[in-house]
């Protein structure tokens, strides 16, 4: 299946992301995908039901959107040229409510339909008189009508559409089986016989609705990813008019070239180029750099970034839909269009099963007629084959493991976001960590205090806290965290912040400075020769140098033990960050990560590209925190967001750890366990059909027994899935089953 960013080119192949409205199940996606692949100009297509997106590829000329929309409309769906996360969210909620209503009707009326059917089965034991058997059969059919006509109606529509599209699946089989059960039952009633199979049709619909609801509740979270991703950006901007006044306007009304104003503490809604002013901006949302960066005239600032200090005017370079963050969201949509190994396997099995089951049903009818069996009974044999071989267990195999394991994982601080995570960790070779917010807190801490003459460490620290008491710079927050209870001796006065240089504090004739060494020298202060790495501040009081305070990134307490444990397990550890080389190497040395495995200055697209290339050599896990990690987290086979991850990042990741990276090894263990159970469920579902279909063909299984057997097969899958909750995590064992101890590539 195609796997790359939207509107990009791979060789001569180009692709784009479209949105599909109206899909209610995986069979819908299969039908749309099959139809799109047949359209002129389309070289390949991939449809993801969970994300409501279609990835369309072409070689030379892009297929007209109108033609694709007409084709999809013939199946009853709507195709949109742009992604609308709110529309997708509404679809998901609407589908869930429809399923709940249909299931409620199926359960209530299904129970009433089963009661007279049960009495009919007990008739040979003398439970009822022969003359009431036909009325009981009629009652069973009447109570089954709401289930057949309302609860199962979606299966018929989708089943018919998939048949038309030439991609029949599970819904087509349900459609045929329920239709056959009702026709044969009506035939029997008309002939005065009580041998009806309405109960089998009711059970089939009810079990499939349960499976569909489980699947929907677990998998239809993907639409939240794009919606949350874009929610991180404000919807309003401040515009400077020709008269010099400021007005607030919706961001979607702004055009390229318009002039907007951004003040300290505000977040940018549109991409723009600075035309006036300067300041310091927090770019970590998109780059991961932990320190604010100085920006001036001519430099670009992207939507989602925040101005920490200063005031700037920007000329808009990209409007909504064309911003860098919009391109990132489309890239994530493209990644979500991929299908996992087990999903592709399940689709192939379902496509193969339908023609096999239909051929087997016809064979059963023909064999019965050859044996001289009456036509109604022969038709019942064919119905039994379709019911007993209906792949309910197959449709439950993966969703049940996910559902059963979900609560167990949540109790341990592990939140599952994507079912693919549970089949991606069998042979993990390399683990790639983001730096800021993942291994560190993102807020620096005091590392060293070097006072000049007549100053002590405590008085120098108090001076720094006084000067920077109102600053939102990360260094200032680190100072406040160092000694929150200390009382500054000079709290009053005025403060002037010079973006990218430092802060001046004035209280009457008392003046103090805190900032870069070069700025202090410009103010006439004699500063000793020193290396200025950006992780220290120099201070002066009344024109005389007072000393220097050095900072380092605050390492999370669990970071070093977790890295050491994973290294003992044989995993190659990588550090991948948008921060500077110096900062990354310094942190890697503290954690024991080899310098050759340290990648610095990487953009979100470069992070994704590195993880993608690494996975060509070994199975990789990406562990990150921060919006700039969303693309890598969505693109990795196993993406893990940790700690206080942004909501968009938590949604883009396959797994979200609410506590810390200390749960990473346990997550791998649970994922491996789940993957094993999924495979066992799929094996049982396929083996079950191989065993029971021959029995049904020979006429040894009646339709109602077939329905019970089908239910028992689903029960076996359920019991096996329950083993997911019995898995107990130990206190950090030194080995993981199936961990790949092969050396990962450098």
Exposure b/e, 25-41, CB count within 10 A at least 16 = b: bbbbbbbbbbbbbebee
Q: How far apart are CA 1 and CA 409, in angstroms?
A: 30
The C-alpha torsion from 389 through 688 and 196 to 199, rounded to 10°, is -100
557 φψ region: left (φ > 0), alpha (ψ -120 to 50), beta (else)? alpha
The C-alpha torsion from 534 through 536 and 542 to 543, rounded to 10°, is -50
To 5 degrees, how large is the angle CA 243–CA 246–CA 249?
120
Q: Please give the pLDDT value at position 370.
A: 92
Closest CA to 85 of 225, 219, 220, 217: 225
Phi/psi at 172 (5° precision): -65, -40
Task: Determine how many CB atoms are found less than 10 A away from the CB of residue 358.
Answer: 18
Closest CA to 400 of 422, 378, 379, 415: 422
Q: Are 644 and 625 in contact (CB under 8 A)?
A: yes
Two structure tokens written together for 492: 């009053």
Question: 632-636: which pairs have CB atoms within 8 A and are 24 or more residues apart?
Answer: 632/432, 632/434, 632/576, 632/604, 632/607, 632/608, 634/225, 634/332, 634/335, 634/336, 635/331, 635/332, 635/335, 635/608, 635/611, 636/432, 636/611
Q: Please give the pLDDT value at position 409.
A: 66
Beta-carbon contacts of 506 under 8 Å, excluding residues fewer than 6 positions away, are 493, 494, 495, 496
Q: How far apart are CA 121 and CA 128, in angstroms?
A: 10
Q: Cβ-count burial of 242 within 10 angstroms (0-12 exposed, 13-18 middle, 19+ buried)?
A: exposed
Closest CA to 411 of 224, 654, 736, 663: 663
Task: Determine how many CB atoms are found less than 10 A away from the CB of residue 727.
Answer: 15
Q: How far apart are CA 320 and CA 301, in angstroms?
A: 15
Beta bridge partners of 505: 495, 512
Q: Please give the pLDDT value at position 593.
A: 93
Question: Tens digit of pLDDT for each residue in 221-242?
Answer: 544 544 555 556 777 888 877 7
Two structure tokens written together for 559: 């970071």
Beta bridge partners of 78: 21
Q: Cβ-count burial of 725 within 10 angstroms (0-12 exposed, 13-18 middle, 19+ buried)?
A: middle
Beta-carbon contacts of 165 under 8 Å, excluding residues fewer than 6 positions away, are 31, 32, 34, 35, 75
Q: Please give the pLDDT value at position 157.
A: 85
Q: Are 160 and 28 in contact (CB under 8 A)?
A: no
Q: Number of helices (H) and strands (E) in the chain: give both, helices first.
A: 22, 25
Q: Please give the pLDDT value at position 399.
A: 59
Beta-carbon contacts of 363 under 8 Å, excluding residues fewer than 6 positions away, are 697
Q: Please give the pLDDT value at position 12.
A: 55
Q: Cβ-count burial of 549 within 10 angstroms (0-12 exposed, 13-18 middle, 19+ buried)?
A: buried
Q: Are 395 and 381 in contact (CB under 8 A)?
A: no
Closest CA to 171 of 183, 153, 186, 185: 153
Q: Are 507 and 492 in contact (CB under 8 A)?
A: yes
Q: Please give the pLDDT value at position 102.
A: 94
Closest CA to 47 of 61, 356, 71, 209: 71
Low-confidence ranges of the chain (pLDDT < 50): 1-11, 222-223, 225-226, 485-490, 646-647, 728-746
What one-character-per-residue DSSP string does 319-341 give? -TTTSHHHHHHHHHHHHHT---H
Two structure tokens written together for 484: 């929150």
With 0.75 as the threshold, say if the pTM is over it. no
Q: Please give the pLDDT value at position 425.
A: 67
CA distances from 113 to 141, 144, 217, 698 (A): 7, 5, 28, 28
| Start-end of H helices in 341-391 | 341-370, 375-388
């Amino acid at each position: 299946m195609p796997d790359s960013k939207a509107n990009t080119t791979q060789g001569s192949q180009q692709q784009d992301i479209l949105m599909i409205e109206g899909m209610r199940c995986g069979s819908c996606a299969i039908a749309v995908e099959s139809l799109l692949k047949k359209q002129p100009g389309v070289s390949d297509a991939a449809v993801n039901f969970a994300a409501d997106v279609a990835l369309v590829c072409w070689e030379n000329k892009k297929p007209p959107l109108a033609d694709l929309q007409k084709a999809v409309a013939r199946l009853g769906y709507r195709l949109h040229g742009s992604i609308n996360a709110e529309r997708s969210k509404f679809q998901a909620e609407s589908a869930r409510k429809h399923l709940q209503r249909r299931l409620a009707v199926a359960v209530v009326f299904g129970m009433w339909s089963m009661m007279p059917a049960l009495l009919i089965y007990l008739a040979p034991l003398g439970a009822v008189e022969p003359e009431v058997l036909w009325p009981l059969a009629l009652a069973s059919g009447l109570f089954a009508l709401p289930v057949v006509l309302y609860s199962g109606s979606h299966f018929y529509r989708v089943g018919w559409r998939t048949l038309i599209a030439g991609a029949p699946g599970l819904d087509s089989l349900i459609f045929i089986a329920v239709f056959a059960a009702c026709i044969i039952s009506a035939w029997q009633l008309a002939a005065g016989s009580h041998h009806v199979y309405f109960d089998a049709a009711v059970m089939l619909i009810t079990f499939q609705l349960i499976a569909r609801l489980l699947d929907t509740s677990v998998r239809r979270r993907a639409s939240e990813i794009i919606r949350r991703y874009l929610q991180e950006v404000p919807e309003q901007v401040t515009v400077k008019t020709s008269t010099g006044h400021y007005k607030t306007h919706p961001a979607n009304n702004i055009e390229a070239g318009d002039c907007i104003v951004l003040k300290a503490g505000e977040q940018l809604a549109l991409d723009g180029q600075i035309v006036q002013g300067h300041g310091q901006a927090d770019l970590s949302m998109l780059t991961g750099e932990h320190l604010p960066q100085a920006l001036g005239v001519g430099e670009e600032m992207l939507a989602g970034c925040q101005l920490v200090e200063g005031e700037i005017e920007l000329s808009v370079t990209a409007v909504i839909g064309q911003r860098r963050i919009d391109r990132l969201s489309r890239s994530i949509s493209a990644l979500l269009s991929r299908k996992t190994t087990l999903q592709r396997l399940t689709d192939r099995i379902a496509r193969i099963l339908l023609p096999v089951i239909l051929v087997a049903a016809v064979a059963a009818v023909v064999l019965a007629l050859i044996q001289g069996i009456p036509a109604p009974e022969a038709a019942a044999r064919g119905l039994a084959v379709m019911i007993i071989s209906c792949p309910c267990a197959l449709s439950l195999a993966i969703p049940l493991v996910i559902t059963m394991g979900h609560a167990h994982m949540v109790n341990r601080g592990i939140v599952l976001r994507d079912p693919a995570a549970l089949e991606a960790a069998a042979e993990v070779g390399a683990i790639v960590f983001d730096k800021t917010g993942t291994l560190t807190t993102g807020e620096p801490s005091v590392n060293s205090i070097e006072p000049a003459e007549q100053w002590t460490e405590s008085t120098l620290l108090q001076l720094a806290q006084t000067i920077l008491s109102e600053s939102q710079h990360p260094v200032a927050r680190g100072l406040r965290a160092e000694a929150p209870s200390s009382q500054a001796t000079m709290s009053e006065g005025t403060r002037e912040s010079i973006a990218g240089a430092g802060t001046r504090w004035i209280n009457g004739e008392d003046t103090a400075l805190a900032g870069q060494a070069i700025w202090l020298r410009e103010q006439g202060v004699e500063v000793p020769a020193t290396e200025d790495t950006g992780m220290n501040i120099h201070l002066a009081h009344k024109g005389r140098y007072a000393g220097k305070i050095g900072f380092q990134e605050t390492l999370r307490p669990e970071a070093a033990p977790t890295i050491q444990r994973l290294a003992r397990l044989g995993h190659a550890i990588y550090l991948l960050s948008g921060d500077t080389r110096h900062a990354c190497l310094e942190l890697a040395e503290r954690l024991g990560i080899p310098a050759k495995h340290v990648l610095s200055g990487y953009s979100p697209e470069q992070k994704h590209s590195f993880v993608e290339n690494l996975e060509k050599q070994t199975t990789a896990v990406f562990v990150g925190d921060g919006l700039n990690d969303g693309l890598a987290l969505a693109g990795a086979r196993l993406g893990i967001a940790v700690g206080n991850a942004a909501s968009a990042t938590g949604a883009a990741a396959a797994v979200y750890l609410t506590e810390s990276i200390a749960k990473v090894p346990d997550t791998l263990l649970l994922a491996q366990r789940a993957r094993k159970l999924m495979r066992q469920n799929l094996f049982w579902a396929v083996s079950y059909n191989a065993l029971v279909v021959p029995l049904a063909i020979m006429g040894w299984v009646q339709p109602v027994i077939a329905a019970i057997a089908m239910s028992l097969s689903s029960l076996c899958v359920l019991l096996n899935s329950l083993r997911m909750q019995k898995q107990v995590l130990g206190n950090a064992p030194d080995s993981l089953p199936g961990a790949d101890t092969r050396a990962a590539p450098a």
